[in-house]
Amino acid sequence: MSGKATTTIGIDLGTTFSCVAIVNGVNNDPEPVANNFGNRITPSVIAYDPKNPSTLIGEAAVNSGLDPTNILYDAKRMIGRQANDTSVEKDKKLWPFRVESKQGKPHVKLMHNGNERLIPPEEISSEVLKEMKAIAERFLNTNVTGAVITVPAYFDHRQRAETMRAAEIAGLRVLKLISEPTAAAIAYMNKDKNELNGKTVMVFDLGGGTFDVSIVKIDKGIKVIAIDGHNHIGGQDFDESIMEYFKECYKKKKNRDFPTNRPKLLSRLRLNCREAKHILSNREQPAPITIEVNEDEDFTCELTREKLNEMIEPMLRGTLDIMDRAIQQAGMTISKIDLVLLIGGSTRIPKMQELLTKKFGEDKLRHRINPDEAVAIGAALLAHNPDEYSIDTGDNAVFKIDSNGILHVTKEEVETGNIANIEIKYDGKPQDDPDIRRIVEEAREHEQEDAKFIELINKRKAFEKVVYEKKWHIEDKSKNETALGIVKKYLDWSDKLPNDIKEYDKELAKFNKDIAEYP
């Protein structure tokens, strides 16, 4: 690497926290850059002042005291998605801010500077990117000329396109979009090339809002063999589980429901639950969660590590199922994975490390680089010296924005050389107000059908809980392939969701009979 001063940066644009890193021009060491609060990760939170033009980012937004309907987060869970996507519909019920559809895309509706606004996800993300750029420029005392920005490996073309659009709005020249696991692998290659060279490496990235897993082959460069992930497994989902536990605790002791119609109270509860989770990641003693419900009412609920594990273990085991899927996609077995790089703050959770240790053995796990910073560090290294890291993902995708603001992806197949221009657009037909009202009316008419469907879904959950518990028992004990094949057969059957709820009782009886000979 050259000794020149850098003007390029790497940005990890995260669901809950974002990080910017640079490569020091003096000794070519990568380093995350601290914000004005002295923190090297910044909350991906934006507050819009309802009466003034000001916009606050990060800690300033979290501590702004503004109404929670004006404090936005989770833009990464909306970007590139349609407003009627199942995940967006589910999240809308949890967000304190209001989300509406405009031309098929989710927009946040709020008051800003005395005016009502509809803000798309890419504009929200652009505010975070602007802040990352500003943090780096204050540190470097010069203008940033380009950035490598990371995205989840499983992001589709539309999600990547909107991330590019967010960067354009932020005034950032994007040198490359790179997957988060690949960036983390670059960070580890830089730290210890000898250990990784010639190895098959799994990058296990569990962050605040998303889960990514990639299997890569390191041999001078990085060859991506398999990727998988999930948009809705992360620290925030664990926080929601803790919040539900707190509400149950309150109802049990007070004999009344916890007030859920006060956004500021729920925001305080969310922060306190997150703090309890962090405490239990570092110590085994119970963590108290205390909330001032009213001026004359403080309520404390104690959370133990055992209870936390009980609540989040199904989600943690879900990441292992996705991981197994990636291994299968790669045509490998667990024994062929040489090293596992732990990335993302949620990999600090002791139960997650315990489950991974059971799978791979402690000697294969690596967390030598701060899991919150590894992705940004890898992106910064690639931005500083793109020629040093050869990355083979099976194809080469270049994103271009035309004069009309429509983003195209030029995908050049490496083997054939064929080029196809694909216009990135929202596939869902934009719904006008009458259509939306009609949908609402139909939903009311079909409430009884909805209730039956919910009953069917709950039956499936109960069925799969029994099957998964047996699966985990077999994996922990005998690892019998025949038994695991039986488990897979019944899970595949359940995934198709039979029309008749009674089928689940029949299949459960068959499952118990088939699996009985495998203790």
3-state secondary structure (DSSP) of residue 108 = strand
DSSP string, 366-390: E--S-TTTHHHHHHHHHHH-GGG--
> Are 352 and 221 in a shared domain?
yes
> Which pLDDT score, from 0 to 100, does residue 69 have?
94
**Residue 358 and residue 332 in contact, taking contact as beta carbons nearer than 8 Å:** no
> Which pLDDT score, from 0 to 100, does residue 383 have?
92
> Which pLDDT score, from 0 to 100, does residue 391 have?
65
* Tokens (6 digits) for 35: 């914000």
> Are 405 and 283 in a shared domain?
no
> Which pLDDT score, from 0 to 100, does residue 246 have?
96
The model carries a pTM of 0.74
> Are 239 and 263 in a shared domain?
yes
Active site residue 324: no
Question: From residue 99, how far is each of 46, 67, 72, 108, 163 by CA, in Å?
Answer: 15, 15, 11, 4, 19
- Is there a domain that residue 322 lies in? yes
Question: From residue 343, how far is each of 70, 230, 320, 340 by CA, in Å?
Answer: 31, 15, 15, 9
> Which pLDDT score, from 0 to 100, does residue 422 have?
36
> Are 54 and 143 in a shared domain?
no
- Is there a domain that residue 440 lies in? no
- CATH number reported for the structural domain that contains residue 145 in this entry: 3.30.420.40
Mean pLDDT by 10 residues, the chain (519 residues): 68 96 85 96 95 90 90 95 88 93 93 94 96 96 93 85 90 90 90 85 92 88 85 87 95 93 89 93 91 90 94 89 90 92 93 94 91 95 81 48 35 30 42 31 44 68 84 82 88 77 87 84
- Final residue before a domain boundary, out of 366, 395, 410: 366
> Are 228 and 340 in a shared domain?
yes
- Is there a domain that residue 302 lies in? yes
- Is there a domain that residue 510 lies in? yes
> Are 105 and 85 in a shared domain?
yes
> Which pLDDT score, from 0 to 100, does residue 457 have?
67
> Are 219 and 262 in a shared domain?
no
Q: What is the 8-class DSSP label of residue 171?
A: T
> Are 217 and 317 in a shared domain?
yes
- Is there a domain that residue 437 lies in? no
> Which pLDDT score, from 0 to 100, does residue 357 have?
95
- CATH number reported for the structural domain that contains residue 60 in this entry: 3.30.30.30
d(CA 24, CA 381): 10
> Which pLDDT score, from 0 to 100, does residue 437 have?
33
Catalytic residue among 74, 76, 122, 212: 76
> Which pLDDT score, from 0 to 100, does residue 442 have?
40
Active site residue 76: yes
> Which pLDDT score, from 0 to 100, does residue 193 have?
76
Q: What is the 8-class DSSP label of residue 49?
A: -
Residues in the chain: 519
**Residue 10 and residue 132 in contact, taking contact as beta carbons nearer than 8 Å:** no
**Residue 207 and residue 234 in contact, taking contact as beta carbons nearer than 8 Å:** yes
Active site residue 180: yes
Q: Which residues pair with 422 in a beta bridge?
A: 409
Catalytic residue among 91, 131, 205, 475: 205
> Are 453 and 509 in a shared domain?
yes
- CATH number reported for the structural domain that contains residue 262 in this entry: 3.90.640.10
- Is there a domain that residue 396 lies in? yes
- Is there a domain that residue 212 lies in? yes
> Are 111 and 133 in a shared domain?
no
> Which pLDDT score, from 0 to 100, does residue 290 have?
94
> Are 214 and 106 in a shared domain?
no
The boundaries of the domain holding residue 173 are 8-41+126-184+374-423
> Which pLDDT score, from 0 to 100, does residue 118 have?
96
Residues 6+ apart with CB under 8 A from 343: 180, 181, 184, 203, 204, 205, 206, 207, 212, 371, 374, 375
> Are 291 and 349 in a shared domain?
no
d(CA 420, CA 256): 60
> Which pLDDT score, from 0 to 100, does residue 401 have?
35
Catalytic residue among 12, 127, 237, 372: 12
Could you give the number of structural domains in the chain?
Answer: 5
> Which pLDDT score, from 0 to 100, does residue 139 have?
94
Phi-psi region of 274 (alpha: psi -120 to 50; beta: other; left: phi over 0): alpha
Q: Which residues pair with 57 in a beta bridge?
A: 46
* Phi, then psi, of 517 in degrees rounded to 5: -80, 0
Q: What is the 8-class DSSP label of residue 347?
A: G
Catalytic residue among 180, 228, 237, 372: 180
- Give kind and range of the element (H or E) at residue 410: strand 407-412
Beta strand spans in 24-124 (E): 30-32, 42-43, 46-48, 55-57, 71-72, 98-102, 105-112, 115-119
- Is there a domain that residue 333 lies in? yes
